[in-house]
Structure 1
Amino acid sequence: MNAQYDAVVVGAGFGGMGAAIQLNRLGYDNLLILERESDLGGTWHVNRYPGLAVDIPSATYSYSFEPNPHWSRLFAPGAELKRYAEHVADKYRLRRYMRFGSVVTGAVWDEANAHWTVSLAEGGPVTAKYLLTATGFLSQPKKPDIAGIDTFGGKVIHTTAWDDEYDLAGKRVAVIGTGATAVQLIPEIAKIARELTVYQRTPIWVSPKLDFPVPKAVRRAFAAVPFTQRAARLTGTALLELMMVSGVLHYRQLPMANRLGKLWCQAHLRRQVRDPRLRAELTPRYSFGCKRPTFSNEYYPAFTKDHVHLETTSIAKIDETGIETADGGRREIDVLVLATGFDLWEANFPAIEIIGRDGRNLGKWWRKNRFQAYEGVAIPKFPNFISLNSPYSYSGLSYFTTIETQMRHMDRLFGAMRRRGATEFEVTREANDAFLDRMTERLGDSIFTLGNCAPANSYYFNPHGEATLLRPSSTLNAIKEAGSFPLEDYTFA
């Protein structure tokens, strides 16, 4: 039985769109992109909380082959990322492939017909020769497991489902969480709430945000002379690579890079918070880089306001009208904001049930045999399958580096398959094992192994305590290997 589609892509965020663009370049046009949300854009469609912005320079957070010269700020607000996603979809004619409101429940490899059968929550299944999952790393909201949280009688808002119509002005607000989302959100709530209490489990390293409006003259230069924007992109990438990537993944070789990152953040905190007690509460106890750091000029000053309170004692319970901490303290609130992040490992690796050759269940296999994926994209016993959010796949600080590295891998892989007159590919167990051993060995040089990461509560670490999300190599190395991996690492049929 012939498959209905050349390929099914799960997810219409930047990863899924990048995969579709690459498939088009390879000559595949009979595609289906399934998206559970009502529109494209992934996290930039779902998230719309106040203060939302990209947390690295905008010039680096975009496809290198589709630069946007019109960013209004160095760190563009979320609405501009959404518009950029729409621009990409329109320019590359990707909407014709997209089916929104389509919740994928699972996929099974059909050995007899050599294709994938993809099941949907509503409607019949679809079949495709190739399956690509681009469900994102941060796509499954996490609700905190706190006693009584469901009994709270006031307004509850999770940051991934922001209620634009609800007015926080004059309200007593509690925010649970101090991750990257909270760093952007808390200063905005502090501007309008009557009282704001932030419940912090783990502090976050925050560095200065060198943000400013991009002058119109610069934007015109970017549009007229694209090389100028490429130079800005390269400069931003190099600086982030040195401070964040090298100092974290190559800590043994470059401990000073890590130390510089830590000192930069500590100096920022000292400048903005004079109270030594408050400063101590906001200072992480884990090594710089164990948890993704972020940028902000407004986060620390928010806690110096009289109506903003930082609570570091753990929450004992929530009842109809307020929150009680473990020391018996209690605060009455009107609104509970959950900036509690995402369920990364349990609900997202993989995001759907995927059954490969010989009935292998990917989720169960990962949890029993360690999280692993050859070059961050392929898994043995899963033919014609590309996983775009996998262990060891995230390279660099910009998600677009990861996306384009995977697109480059696809180009080499599908090109080799076509030259051989084949229609199937599968990575060998030997190649996968060798890659896993190499990544594990390289992690021995990282802050994850050599630093103090236990207090970080970082999503970088899987349930086994292994830091298998980031690829422990330079960005240049990841790009190079994506275009030169041994073709013998795959079997073709």
Structure 2
Amino acid sequence: MSDPNPSPTVEYGRNTNRADVLIIGAGISGMTTAIEMIRKGNGRNFIIVEKGNQVGGTWNDQRYPGCCCDVWSHLYSLSFEPNPNWTREYPGQEEILDYLVDIAHKYQLYKHIRFNTSVEEARWDDTTNTWQTKINRLGSKDSEFGKEYMITSDFLVSGVGQLNIPRYPDIKGVDAFKGKTMHSARWDWDYDLKDKRIGIIGNGATAAQIIPEIAKVCKSLTIFQRSPNWVVPRDDKPISQTWQNIFKYVPFVRRRYRAGLMDFRESFFDVVFETKSPVHEFMMSASKDHLAAQLPGEKYAKLREQLQPHYAIGCKRVIITDDYFPTFTRPNVVLETTPIEEITEKGVRVQDGTEHEFDLLVLATGFKTTQFMYPIKILGSNRKSIEDIWASGASAYLGITVPSMPNFSMLYGPNTNLGHNSIILMIEAQALYINALIKLIRSARQRGRNLRIEVKPKVTQAYNDEIQARLRESAFADPNCNSWYKNEAGLITNNWSDNVVQYQKRTSTIHWDDFDITGTGADEVKTEGKTSWNRVIEETQISNAAILTGLVTAAGAVAAGALYRSSLKTLLRS
């Protein structure tokens, strides 16, 4: 039988590039925003554009040897999508990516995602109160249909994150090396490391994961250290099948376990913000003891001196590892602390004139973390660019909204990174906040109106002044170290100034007088007052002692009831 409707059922000429919301990035931030749209009743009229070939963001991009997370697996997952089947206390890149792929399938996100697609620029249209975003097709076959096109959306969300664009070192001759060069974020697995002379520039968290792995197979490994890092034990171990089953079939245990992990991480907030506190001293002592235990005795005295930091712990990202220090005891590993003078055709020359020759040069030099949105051009109201707005350093109200950028929000934006807990906790709070804004704009559109919601400059300035004052008193501001938390002027643009719970509380309410709300639907919006919702509460609410007391009481009540029923039966029989 022939098809009674041979023509497309969608009306010819319908614009498939028109959406309520355009989300840039299919990493954790973009996916969570989309999922919350579905869960909160904001519909599925969204488009996600992703430069890569898969969901996962940084966990799809980062594929270097030893790549893993520094947050416990049960805490590095969405609260509403727990994974009882994590196989290790600390998850590896492959397992995290699998988790994110599974979530994308569950919520049917793939039909909304356009892979191998980049954003060149986004322009706000003051006449229609919409975003006009120029899209580039990166795939060769896709580009045959048209390399560029526009997406029109009522709302624009950036989920590009902070760990997106690799940063290459500003070293003389960086392009002169004739051997193989690879950035840690762009690892080439086709290159055989066996019997190779390798130099690695950088000794941060990424390098600390790569170094122990490649040292096992290479001929020689030279690590160029600019400054040492604070290192604490990792104590990673497998999660047994028994515990996986318990987490799966006894959800209370899993939730309680996650709450305990969050409590523990939150307790280390004072390490960074109370540099004279006992917990700060405890962490420094734990790190020193870890160094001494793994490089013991007079034999490693010089190494211990070279690897011991002399700045406040927390100023830079604290490295969590058990196999970094022991790698320096291998005969094929050298620590070079003399500053680099230049990169040559054969390798690296340091300032004392020594030239190290290599077959491979690994650049573990991180990302352009303080250049949010780079290289995307964002032009807001009156064609004001986000680059101009951030000329003195990136800032955003609650790390989410930016003045002169109507109907725009970002996740993992300025001053939302953490030095002590899971970023997923922050992302979930941001996604809820953003969806409250989206709901208002969608409601107006459904009534045939439009809305423009823009945070007031004075609100953003007051907020930024508040958090910067607090950050200046933290370990992040220690002048004795440089980190990716600061921009070139020393302004801390990346990290949050309090614990996670306080951020969750602040982002669970929108005060409408913080925003200028205009458009044809503005008269129907209550611009005074506030809109609040229940934040995701995951910290421990009831102590273990209270639970134990409750169980004992319950057990006593059950026992008493059983005794009463037994006595009653005896009495009736008599």
* Residue in structure 2 matched with residue 42 of structure 1 by the alignment: 57
Q: Deviations over 1:220-273 (max 9, x none)?
A: 111112222222222122222222x2221x316x72222222111111111111
Corresponding residue to 2:155 among 130, 133, 141: 130
Is 1:64 matched up with 2:64?
no
> Which of 331, 340, 364 is 1:306 aligned to?
331
Q: Could you tell me which of 93, 98, 109 is aligned with 1:78? A: 93
Segment drifting more, 440-449 vs 477-486: 440-449
What displacement does 1:155 show?
Answer: 1.5
Give yes or no for the alignment of 1:210 onto 2:235: yes
Contact 2:193 2:214 in 1 (8 A): yes
Identity of aligned residues (%): 35
Q: Report the 3-state secondary structure (helix = DSSP H, G, I; strand = E; otherwise coil) of the residue aligned with 1:181.
A: helix
Say which SS state the counterpart of residue 182 (structure 2) adopts.
strand
Q: Which residue of 2 aligns with 1:117?
A: 132
* Distance in 2 between residues matched to 1:155 and 1:106, nearest whole Å: 34
Find the aligned partners of 2:179 and 2:208 in 1 and give their Cα distance: 23
Give me the whole-angstrom Cα distance separating, in 1, the residues matched to 2:200 and 2:417.
29
What is aligned with 2:398? Answer: 375
Supply the distance in 2 between the matched residues of 1:410 and 1:133 (Cα, whole angstroms).
Answer: 11
Deviation at 1:444, TM superposition (A): 4.0
Classify the secondary structure of the residue corresponding to 2:267.
Answer: helix
> Within 2, Cα distance between the matches of 1:436 and 1:318?
40
Q: CA deviation at 1:315?
A: 1.3
Residue 317 (str. 1) matches residue 342 (str. 2): yes
Q: Deviations over 1:263-312 (max 9, x none)?
A: 11111111111211101111122210011112111000001111100001
CA contact (8 A) 2:50 2:114 kept: yes
Partner of 1:12: 26
Deviations 1:17-46 (A, max 9, x none): 011112222423111111111111111111
Query: 1:469 is matched with which residue: 470, 476, 494?
Result: 494
TM-score by length of 1: 0.94
Please give the secondary structure, in 1, of the residue aligned with 2:149.
coil
CA contact (8 A) 2:64 2:184 kept: yes
- Size of the aligned set, in residue pairs, is 485
Match in the other structure for 2:432: 408
What is the identity, as a one-letter code, of the residue corresponding to 1:14?
I
* Counterpart in the other structure of 2:35: 21
> Residue 259 of structure 1 corresponds to which residue in structure 2?
281
Which of 458, 462, 473 lines up with 1:434 in the alignment?
Answer: 462
User: CA offsets, 1:72-117, max 9 Å, x none?
Assistant: 1001111001101101101111111100111111111011111001
Change (3 A) 1:246 1:26: farther
Q: Does 1:278 find its partner at 2:303?
A: yes
Q: Is 413-422 or 221-230 further displaced after alignment?
A: 413-422
Check whether the contact 2:202–2:226 (CA below 8 A) recurs between aligned residues. yes
- 1:376 counterpart letter in structure 2: G
Deviations 1:150-175 (A, max 9, x none): 22221112111111122111111111
After superposition, residues 274-423 of structure 1 pair within 5 angstroms as 274=296, 275-346=300-371, 348-368=372-392, 370-395=393-418, 397-415=421-439, 423=451
Unaligned runs of 5+ in 1: none
**TM-score scaled to structure 2, two decimals?**
0.81
Give the corresponding residue for 2:244: 219
Q: Helix, strand or coil for the counterpart of 1:220?
A: helix
| Equivalent AA in structure 1 for residue 78 of structure 2 | Y
- Quick one: higher RCO (CA 8 Å, sep 6+), 1 or 2? 1
CA contact (8 A) 2:50 2:113 kept: yes
Three-state SS of the structure 1 residue aligned to 2:169 is coil
1:243-258 correspondence runs (5 A): 243=268, 245-248=269-272, 250-251=273-274, 255-258=277-280
Partners of 2:442 and 2:118 in 1: how far apart?
31
**2: distance between equivalents of 1:212 and 1:74?**
6
Contact kept? 2:271, 2:279, Cα under 8 Å: yes
* Amino acid of the structure 2 residue aligned with 1:429: P
In structure 2, list runs of 5 or more residues that go unmatched: 1-13, 137-146, 523-574
Q: Which is further off, 140-149 or 37-46?
A: 140-149
Deviation sequence 1:304-359 (CA, Å, 0-9, x none):
1111000011111222222211101122211111111112224x354411111112
Deviations 1:409-458 (A, max 9, x none): 12443455667876332112232222122212322442234xxx223220
Q: Structure 2: which amino acid aligns with 1:267?
A: D
Report the equivalent of 2:512: 487
2:452 counterpart residue number? 424
In the alignment, the residues of structure 1 paired with residue 157 and residue 373 of structure 2 have an alpha-carbon distance, to the nearest angstrom, of 14
The amino acid that maps onto 2:32 is: G
Change (3 A) 1:455 1:444: closer
Rounded to whole Å, the distance in 1 between the matches of 2:403 and 2:82 is 35
Letter in 2 for 1:34: V
Please say which of residues 313-322 and 327-336 is displaced more in the overlay.
Answer: 313-322
Q: Is this contact kept in 2: 1:26–1:414, CA < 8 A?
A: no
Which position in structure 1 is the counterpart of 2:531? none
Kept in 1: contact 2:370–2:493 (CA 8 A): no
Give the AA of the match of 2:84: P
Tell me the amino acid that sits aligned with residue 16 of structure 1. Answer: G
Q: Is the 8 A contact 1:416 1:487 kept in 2?
A: no
- Kept in 2, the 8 Å contact 1:376–1:390? The answer is yes
Q: Distance in 2 between matches of 1:372 and 1:181?
A: 26
Distance 1:386 1:336 in 2: 38
Aligned partner of 2:462: which letter?
Answer: A
Give 3-state SS (helix, strand or coil) of 1:264's partner: helix
- Contact kept, 8 Å, 2:224 with 2:335, in 1: the verdict is yes
2:20–2:442 CA contact under 8 A, matched in 1: no
Q: Is the Cα–Cα contact under 8 Å of residues 135 and 351 in structure 1 kept in the other structure? A: no
**Residues 343 and 419 of structure 1: is their aligned pair in 2 closer, same or farther, counting only changes over 3 Å?**
closer
1:484 Cα deviation from its structure 2 partner: 2.2
CA contact (8 A) 1:132 1:387 kept: yes
Give yes or no for contact 1:323–1:332 (8 Å, CA) kept in 2. Answer: yes
Larger Rg: 2
